[in-house]
Amino acid sequence: MRYLKYTIHASIVLSTLVMCGCDTSTTRGLLYLFGPTVKKTVKAEYSGLEGHSVAVLVYTGPGIVCDYPKAQDELSVAIARELRNRLRDVSIIPPNTVMSYQHNNPDWREEDVAKIARELKTDYVLMVTVAEYTSRALVSRAIQGRIRADAQLHEILQDADGVDFSDRVAWQCEEEIESLYPEKGEVYDRVFETRFLYEARRQFADKLVKHFRNYEVRTDDQI
């Protein structure tokens, strides 16, 4: 009942604005703000994780490690948390388990993915290769969290006897995933550096995990 009254009231206001000569773009914008919410569902690009386990392995190159030693671990935790929160029927290998494996095997990137998966006891391995991780804006010295990375999801296969393991790329991003926080680099106080990187990691994890789940977005199709 309250929604009906709100819709009728908004319709009267908007009709009045049209009669007063507001242009189409203005009316469309007001309808977006005050009209009934219209949403559409974006389907997951890969939906085969349900009922399986996933390990997240993040790689940051020497340059990133030098400037941000904790980047690899912190991004791993952010992605694992987002997977756990958004994909209820998927088992996430604890980040500490994965990070311990990486730290104890410095050359893990040289190993076969199937071997890594067998060590971690997981059905899938989500590989994230970070190309950029910084708290500096691109064209200034402003403080801005920026992350750019490629990602691949490997499905682990085994023969009928469960002895031989192999892997296949079940999904990979068509282009690098990027996050930017805040959108405009206009803050210069380094006290915000930790917070901005944290928010950039959250944003990156959200963008990545959306490839594996259905989600809704608002549209402006009221008109």
Domain residue spans in the chain?
2-36, 53-215
Which pLDDT belongs to residue 221?
46
**CA neighbours closer than 13 Å in the CB half-sphere of residue 29:** 6
CB crowding 141-151: b at 16 or more within 10 Å, else e: ebbbbbbebeb
Which pLDDT belongs to residue 74?
98
Tens of pLDDT, residue by residue, the chain (223 residues): 444 444 445 555 555 555 665 555 555 565 555 556 678 999 999 999 999 999 999 999 999 999 999 999 999 999 999 999 999 899 999 999 999 999 999 999 999 999 999 999 999 999 999 999 999 998 888 999 999 999 999 999 987 666 678 999 999 999 999 999 999 888 999 999 999 999 999 999 999 999 999 999 987 644 3
Does this model's pTM top 0.85? My answer is no
Residue corresponding to tokens 């192999």: 166
Instruction: Give pLDDT tens digits for 8-31.
Output: 455 555 555 556 655 555 555 655
CB crowding 65-101: b at 16 or more within 10 Å, else e: eeebeebbbbbbbbbbbbbbeebeebbbbebeebbeb
Contacts of 41 (CB under 8 A, 6+ apart): 214, 215, 216
Instruction: Give pLDDT tens digits for 113-127.
Output: 999 999 999 999 999
Residues in the chain: 223
What are the tokens at 207? 């963008």
CATH of 53-215, one of 3.40.50.10610, 1.10.3720.10, 3.30.365.10, 3.40.50.2000: 3.40.50.10610
